[in-house]
Amino acid sequence: MADTNSTANQPCIVVQVPKTAAEVSWVEGAHGIESIVTVIGLLIGAWWAYRNDWIKTLKERTDDRALRKSEQDQRQDALDQRNRQLRWDQAKLAKEINDQFLADHGAQDALGIVDADVPIFKVTTLENPPKTYPISIEDGEHIKALQIGGAGAEPKEIYVRECFDAWFYWMSIMEQYLKNKLVLQEDVAYPSDYYVRCLREDQKLYEASVAYIQKHRLSANILAFMERFSEERAGAPSPARVT
């Protein structure tokens, strides 16, 4: 028999008590603070991420600049080394040319004639036995040797021409190396600058030399080499010659 006093099967009625105004205000305030805190947290998170990225980017930029600077320094060092090596090679080659020029007996006799400050200058051949020829500077025998035709030339005049031929040859060689930038003028200037200026100061000998070069169609490098040096010696001392 059913228990008339049982409430197990009776429906449950929930009665919601309205919140007071203070409670509503507090809840809304809590939600507002929570939202603000969330926004602040998001902003801090974003700022922190941006900061880390910026620091990383700054480091990368700094490292990149340092790398480029290092590469640039290495390239400059390599270029400087190549320039030093080139300059060394130029000076070395110039010395070798000058050494050969100064070892040329005929060319040295030509230099002696050009720089002679005595009435008679003696030149000696390398023949066996050697022959010595007195050249009258005051009578211009060295100039006549360059002007006379080959058929009527005496042995002395022939030898003088051979000496000047040897000197002109070395002028041509030096000028060719200078044009190709294999040597610098400052490296071959001594003693050539002195003797070329000596030659240019002796107007008759210089004109005879130019005419001889043009007549026999010798290298244009010879005259170009002569033009590299001024006519004034400014009292420069005579360089020592190999005899």
Q: What is the pLDDT of residues 77-94, one digit of tens each?
A: 888 888 899 899 999 999
Give yes or no for residue 15 having a pLDDT over 70: no
Residue 237 lies in a domain: no
Q: Mark out the alpha helices in 104-134 (DSSP H runs).
A: 105-114
Question: Which of the residue ranges 4-13, 61-70, 136-145 has the most confident prediction, judged by mean pLDDT?
Answer: 136-145
Residue 176 lies in a domain: yes
| Res. 238 pLDDT band, cuts 50 70 90 | low
Considering the domain architecture, whether residues 113 and 217 belong to the same structural domain is answered as: yes
Q: How far apart are CA 49 and CA 43, in angstroms?
A: 10
pLDDT for position 36:
78
Considering the domain architecture, whether residues 43 and 134 belong to the same structural domain is answered as: no
Considering the domain architecture, whether residues 182 and 79 belong to the same structural domain is answered as: no
Residue 108 lies in a domain: yes
User: Which residues have a Cβ under 8 Å from the Cβ of 149 and sit 6 or more positions away?
Assistant: none
Considering the domain architecture, whether residues 76 and 109 belong to the same structural domain is answered as: no
For 124, other C-beta atoms within 10 Å of its C-beta total: 13
Give yes or no for residue 196 having a pLDDT over 70: yes
pLDDT for position 97:
96
Q: What's the rounded mean pLDDT across residues 124-141? A: 95
Considering the domain architecture, whether residues 77 and 137 belong to the same structural domain is answered as: no
Residue 45 lies in a domain: yes
Residue 10 lies in a domain: no
Name the residue range of residue 64's domain. Answer: 20-86
Cα 16 from chain centroid (whole Å): 97
CA distances from 153 to 64, 142, 144 (A): 78, 12, 10
The mean of the pLDDT values for the chain is: 84
Q: What's the rounded mean pLDDT across residues 29-50? A: 76
Give yes or no for residue 22 having a pLDDT over 60: no
pLDDT for position 185:
94
Residue 7 lies in a domain: no
Considering the domain architecture, whether residues 82 and 139 belong to the same structural domain is answered as: no
Considering the domain architecture, whether residues 125 and 170 belong to the same structural domain is answered as: yes
Least confident range from 10-14, 69-73, 118-122, 195-199: namely: 10-14
The answer to whether the Cα torsion of 131, 132, 135, 136 is positive or negative is negative
Give yes or no for residue 209 having a pLDDT over 50: yes
pTM over 0.75: no
Considering the domain architecture, whether residues 69 and 109 belong to the same structural domain is answered as: no
Residue 92 lies in a domain: no
Instruction: Report the number of distinct structural domains present in the chain.
Output: 2
